């Protein structure tokens, strides 16, 4: 939802401070929820779809004019860290900054706009009744940044190469084979039906040039000048790893149209300076994680705020295999002991979003509103503890303030929280290795296809901040595999609902709250796009590359 200074002033008559924020968030909650569930027999470039259970031909022609951005010489994005080299094998998986920046350089077979999955390099496709065979028809005008035509051989090669050298952000293991056919067709055979194939495989796996990579035996070490050759709207021109700075230039031969910004820059600054850099005019788009950013609009008329759906989660990863947190009663007691609404409102400066302890955020079509919830109830927590006391270690970032709120709440019911503040790299390593009791983490990736509920606990999650999910439950694992292979959206939704019921009762992770992102941007140079379900696999970023492509 977009807020402008004039609009806020109109809404805020008679309101001040928190009341203004509450009114704004109420307005956002009134927005129609994104519709991600429901098969369709005809799909165009502006129609949301899910993998159907019968063969469907997909048309590439849009029914509405394409999204147009603002023509500018330079557009600058701010991020908090360097994201590695922009190749599918060297980009960082520490958060989504690198994966999103990659999308400007590389194209995929499908993509998403504000309404759903749309064709990209795959102009149309068909799927077999059992969901294991896909045939894509490649656009015939795409070229690589070095001028070489992009062909079906490149697509087939890409998936074969990723089978040996995986893309760091998303696995393509479900693809058994990809072979080049005739007349621009690429035939895919899957190892099983995959409900997330169109959105999270075809829509995330970048197509790479065969002539660059076919003779590269170790792509994690390749540093040739052609390592970042893609077919996307922007060319990788410069990377300063020390400064965490990137410069991308418009690709004039981009098959979908001329990019409207001549140059993109991604610059690195500290999380604390994310808003200050836009305020000073040194960046055009930056991320805020609390509602106080709305104040900037009143001081700077050219700035606007794009408030996203709550597609980010703040949670406690739990090592359920290690005593004492292998006890469900203890995990439930912790949830009852925490005043999660107070924690969320303190940290986000907005009403807390604390429903959805089954991980899936509210206001999304996969959300089960009937699952068990945990209102603040210290007496209930004490009852569950049965007079026992516990000391639990928690990993957290050095600057984290959640722990200051959590410690006295837990102490009040007999739980001592020993906070171990460690740097990001150390915390992520402990999450990956499973060498922790509790770990505080926050991340995206919960807005799109719900297969993340399987990936987390199957050890297949790529996002480093979403690791550390440890849960051994045979019924849950069986349901997770069933939903992954269920193409009928109604049946799949019922299975995903069952998974949330188990998660809410067993609590292998303790969801503190879901949060919105508040993107501050200069409205004179940037036009945001709220992508259906979030970019790629649920990333609530407004810089969808479609906003930067002209007609």
Quickly state the pLDDT bin for 468 (edges 50, 70, 90). confident
Residue 360 has pLDDT above 70, yes or no: yes
Res 3 pLDDT > 60 = no
Position 551 scores a pLDDT of 59
Looking at residues 238-245, what average pLDDT do you find? 96
Res 61 pLDDT > 90: no
pLDDT, the chain, mean: 88
* Domains of the chain, CATH where assigned: 1-32+68-81+232-308+518-551 (3.40.190.10), 39-65+106-228 (3.90.76.10), 312-515 (3.10.105.10)
pLDDT for residue 151 = 98
Segments in 46-169 forming alpha helices (H)? 97-102, 152-164
pLDDT at 52: 33
**pLDDT of the residue at 301:** 87
For tokens 């479609």, the residue is 546
For 70, residues 6+ apart whose C-beta sits below 8 A from its C-beta are 260, 261, 524, 525, 526, 527
pLDDT for position 2: 61
In this predicted structure, what is the pLDDT of residue 40? 29
Average the pLDDT over 71-100 and give the result: 95
Give the residue among 415, 431, 454, 408 at the shortest CA–CA distance from 315: 431
How would residue 249 be classed by pLDDT, with cut points 50, 70 and 90? Answer: very high
The pLDDT-based confidence of 62 (bands split at 50, 70, 90) is very low
pLDDT of residue 294: 83
Q: What is the mean pLDDT of residues 404-408?
A: 98
Is the pLDDT confidence value at 22 over 90? no
Query: pLDDT-based confidence at 46, cuts 50/70/90?
Result: very low
**pLDDT confidence of residue 297:** 77
Decide if pLDDT at 305 tops 90. Answer: yes
Instruction: Return the structure tokens found at 535.
Output: 């970019």
Question: Can you state the angle between helices 489-506 and 328-337, rounded to 10 degrees?
Answer: 90
Q: State the pLDDT at residue 498.
A: 98
Average pLDDT on 460-472 reads 88
> Which regions of 129-279 does DSSP assign to beta strands (E)?
133-138, 175-180, 185-190, 234-240, 245-250, 263-268
Q: Is 459 exposed, middle or buried (0-12, 13-18, 19+ CB in 10 A)?
A: exposed
Q: Once rounded to an integer, what is the mean pLDDT over residues 512-527? A: 95
1, 330 in Cβ contact below 8 A? no
The rounded percent of the chain whose pLDDT value lies above 90 is 79
DSSP assignment letter at 148: P
pLDDT digits (tens, 9 = 90+) for 471-483: 999 999 999 999 9
Residue 346 has pLDDT above 60, yes or no: yes
Q: How many Cα neighbours within 13 Å face the side chain of 35?
A: 9
Please report which residue ranges of 42-185 form alpha helices under DSSP H.
Answer: 97-102, 152-164
The one-character DSSP state at 233 is: S
Decide if pLDDT at 499 tops 70.
Answer: yes
- Tell me how far apart the alpha carbons of residues 318 and 325 are, in angstroms, rounded to a whole number: 7
**In which band, very low, low, confident or very high, does the pLDDT at 36 lie, cut at 50, 70 and 90?**
very low
What ranges in 445-473 are assigned the alpha helix state H?
452-458
Q: pTM of the prediction?
A: 0.88
User: In the predicted model, what is the mean pLDDT of residues 143-164?
Assistant: 98
* Window from 7-16, 174-183, 252-261, 427-436 with minimum mean pLDDT: 7-16
Q: At 442, phi and psi to the nearest 5?
A: -140, 140
| pLDDT exceeds cutoff 70 at 517 | yes
Tokens coding 81: 């860290």
């Amino acid at each position: 939802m977009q807020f402008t200074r004039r609009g806020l002033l109109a809404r805020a008559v008679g309101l001040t401070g928190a009341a203004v924020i509450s009114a704004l968030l109420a307005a956002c909650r009134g927005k129609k929820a994104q519709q991600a569930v429901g098969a369709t027999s005809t799909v165009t470039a502006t129609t949301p779809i899910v993998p159907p259970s019968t063969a469907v031909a997909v048309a590439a022609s849009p029914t509405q004019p394409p999204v147009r951005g603002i023509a500018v010489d330079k557009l600058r994005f701010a991020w908090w860290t360097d994201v590695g080299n922009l190749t599918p094998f060297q980009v960082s998986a520490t958060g989504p900054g690198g994966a999103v920046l990659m999308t400007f350089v590389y194209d995929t077979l499908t993509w998403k706009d504000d309404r759903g999955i749309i064709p990209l390099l795959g102009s149309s496709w068909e799927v077999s009744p059992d969901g294991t065979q896909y045939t894509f028809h490649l656009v015939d005008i795409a070229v690589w940044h070095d001028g070489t035509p992009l062909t079906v051989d490149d697509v087939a090669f890409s998936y074969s190469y990723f089978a040996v050298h995986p893309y760091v952000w998303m696995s393509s293991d479900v693809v058994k084979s990809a072979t080049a056919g005739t007349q621009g067709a690429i035939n895919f055979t899957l190892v099983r039906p995959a409900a997330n194939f169109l959105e999270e495989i075809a829509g995330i796996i970048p197509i790479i040039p065969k002539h660059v990579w076919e003779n590269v035996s170790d792509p994690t070490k390749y540093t040739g000048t052609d390592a970042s050759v893609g077919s996307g709207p922007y060319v990788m021109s410069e990377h300063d790893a020390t400064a965490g700075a990137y410069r991308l230039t418009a690709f004039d031969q981009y098959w979908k149209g001329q990019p409207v910004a001549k140059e993109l820059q991604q610059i690195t600054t500290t999380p604390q300076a994310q808003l200050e850099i836009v305020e000073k005019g040194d960046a055009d788009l930056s991320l805020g994680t609390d509602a106080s950013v709305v104040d900037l609009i009143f001081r700077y008329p050219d700035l606007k705020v794009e408030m996203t759906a709550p597609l980010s989660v703040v949670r406690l990863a739990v090592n359920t295999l290690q005593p004492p947190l292998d006890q469900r009663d203890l995990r439930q007691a912790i949830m009852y002991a925490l005043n999660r609404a107070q924690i969320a409102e303190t940290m986000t400066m907005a009403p807390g979003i604390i429903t959805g302890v089954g991980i899936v955020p509210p206001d999304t079509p996969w959300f089960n509103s009937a699952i068990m919830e945990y209102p603040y109830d210290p007496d209930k927590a004490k009852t569950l503890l049965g007079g026992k006391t516990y000391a639990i270690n928690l990993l957290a970032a050095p600057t984290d303030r959640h722990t200051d709120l959590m410690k006295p709440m837990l102490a009040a019911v007999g739980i001592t929280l020993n906070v171990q503040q460690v740097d990001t790299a150390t915390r992520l390593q402990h999450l990956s290795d499973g060498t922790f009791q509790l770990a505080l983490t926050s991340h995206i990736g919960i807005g799109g296809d719900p297969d993340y509920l399987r990936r987390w606990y199957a050890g297949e999650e790529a996002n480093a901040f979403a690791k550390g999910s440890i849960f051994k439950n045979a019924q849950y694992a069986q349901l997770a595999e069933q939903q992954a292979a269920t193409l009928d959206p109604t049946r799949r939704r019922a299975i995903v609902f069952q998974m949330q019921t188990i998660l809410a009762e067993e609590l292998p992770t303790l969801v503190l709250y879901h949060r919105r992102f508040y993107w501050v941007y200069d409205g004179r140079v940037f036009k945001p796009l709220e992508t259906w379900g979030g970019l790629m696999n649920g990333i609530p970023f407004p810089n969808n590359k479609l906003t930067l492509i002209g007609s």
